[in-house]
Amino acid sequence: LDSRAMYEFHPLSHFNDRPEGVEIDTIVIHSMYCVLPRLGTPFSMDACLRVLDEEGVSSHFMIGRDGTVWQIVKEDDRAWHAGESKMPEKFGGRENVNDFSIGIELIASPRSGFTDSQYDSLISVTNVLLRRLNIRYVLGHEHIAPQRKVDPGELFDWNRYMNAFPDLIWGVEDA
């Protein structure tokens, strides 16, 4: 199954090449919403894409409230989603998580929670990535940059997501 056939491609230019020989083995879950009223409604995928563009950042995928999936950066490229980041020590403490990870943005506010359609699409995207890449770790942005990030946040149901993938190593404590 070719993931490119499953998603609309909405490319941003905020990415670069991964370092030579780096294996992609991590998924980082993010959440975002459009906080700039001039760009549209808070849950608009178009508005959120513009926010990423204006901030000079990107992720590999964006999942809308209705489960729509947009691919923003190709998996082989390094998206700029994690910023200054470090894996937990129990996973080796590697820095520069963008180098070896796939970033997935879920459109949600700190109070909205996540929709059934988003969980379904996130599980589908993860299944495709598991077939294509050697994914071993899944964490939230909050787990790799805890001093500065809180997403996807306390309303993200890690147990619901994790139960779909019992063989992965989760970076979530007490989920």
72: which 2 tokens? Answer: 């923003």
Q: Which residues are catalytic?
A: 105
How far apart CA 124 and CA 136 sit, in angstroms, is: 16
- What pLDDT was estimated at residue 5? 46
How far apart CA 139 and CA 27 sit, in angstroms, is: 6
- What pLDDT was estimated at residue 40? 64
Alpha helix stretches (DSSP H) within 7-162: 45-55, 116-132, 141-144, 158-162
The superfamily CATH assigns to domain 3-170 is Peptidoglycan recognition protein-like (3.40.80.10)
- What pLDDT was estimated at residue 109? 85
Element counts in the chain: helices (H) and strands (E)? 4, 9
Which tens digit of pLDDT belongs to each residue from 39-60?
Answer: 667 788 998 998 899 999 999 9
Which tens digit of pLDDT belongs to each residue from 70-99?
Answer: 999 999 999 999 999 999 999 999 999 999
- What pLDDT was estimated at residue 35? 67
How far apart CA 135 and CA 174 sit, in angstroms, is: 21
| Local mean pLDDT, 10-residue blocks, the chain (175 residues) | 64 96 97 73 88 95 96 97 96 97 94 94 95 94 93 94 85 56
Query: Hey, what long-range contacts does 19-25 have (CB within 8 A, 24 or more apart)?
Result: 19/99, 22/99, 22/100, 23/100, 23/134, 24/75, 24/100, 24/101, 24/102, 24/133, 24/134, 24/135, 25/100, 25/101, 25/133, 25/134, 25/135, 25/136, 25/137
- Four-residue CA torsion sign, 35, 41, 45, 51: negative
